[in-house]
Amino acid sequence: MNLIVITKPDFFPGESEAVNSLFGCGMPKLHLRKPGADEQKLRAWIKSILPEYRNRIVLHDHFGLCREFNLGGIHLNSRNPSAPEGLLENCHSLTLSRSCHSLQEVQSALGKKEDGGRSCDYVFLSPIFDSISKQGYGKAFTSEELQNARDHGLIGKRTYALGGVELNRLPALRTLGFGGAAVLGALWNAPDREHYLRLLFEECSLG
């Protein structure tokens, strides 16, 4: 399975140093999700990340910054349901992903052609487990629903699990056929983030 890290929604002291450190430990991809941040604040945050790591960053907002900093991709969501006109056509290296909260959305996103004639490279399906970072945000699917989705090809290499993802739940996600997992609260709440990231990598590499 592949592993993606998502930032905390709010800025916090030492965040840039922590992110640079995690990239140095091999973090392959970081989704930069700061829903309340304006473009200026995001620009300053990206500038604090070492240039050699910026092409591993995927934006959830202010997609124009991709060109400015040669970032890795854009992620569509309810705030930004479509890509800016011409962005995907002019920046072919950008990955394209989308948030999904139902199996019907997954089916649509993986089959739909976005701007530039592309379908999503991968999608997030959430919440799979009770959220760690959002109190009261419970899982949305039964095990039977997820197994049925796997058997019908909706869960596969391009579908990533989000919501309550932590180390001891990765084997279950692998059994369900998810191509990857997106982690947020479990990593940022860990007392030793670098060590926890390595443990996540080890478990993801098993299948």
Residue 9 corresponds to which tokens in the numbers above?
Answer: 């929604």
Report pLDDT for 92.
78
∠ CA(39), CA(92), CA(162), 5° rounding? Answer: 65
Domain boundaries, the chain: 2-204
Q: How much of the chain, in percent, has pLDDT values that exceed 90?
A: 82
pTM, two decimal places:
0.94
Q: Does domain 2-204 have CATH number 3.20.20.70?
A: yes
Question: Dihedral of the CA atoms 135, 141, 142, 146 (nearest 10)?
Answer: -130
Q: Which tens digit of pLDDT belongs to each residue from 33-56?
A: 999 999 999 999 999 999 999 999
Would you place residue 91 in the very low, low, confident or very high pLDDT band (cuts 50, 70, 90)? confident
For the beta carbon of residue 96, count every other beta carbon within 10 angstroms: 22
**DSSP assignment letter at 82:** S
Q: What's the pLDDT tens digit per position in 60-80?
A: 999 999 999 999 999 999 999
Please state whether 190 falls in left (phi above 0), alpha (psi between -120 and 50) or beta: beta
pLDDT of 4 above 90: yes
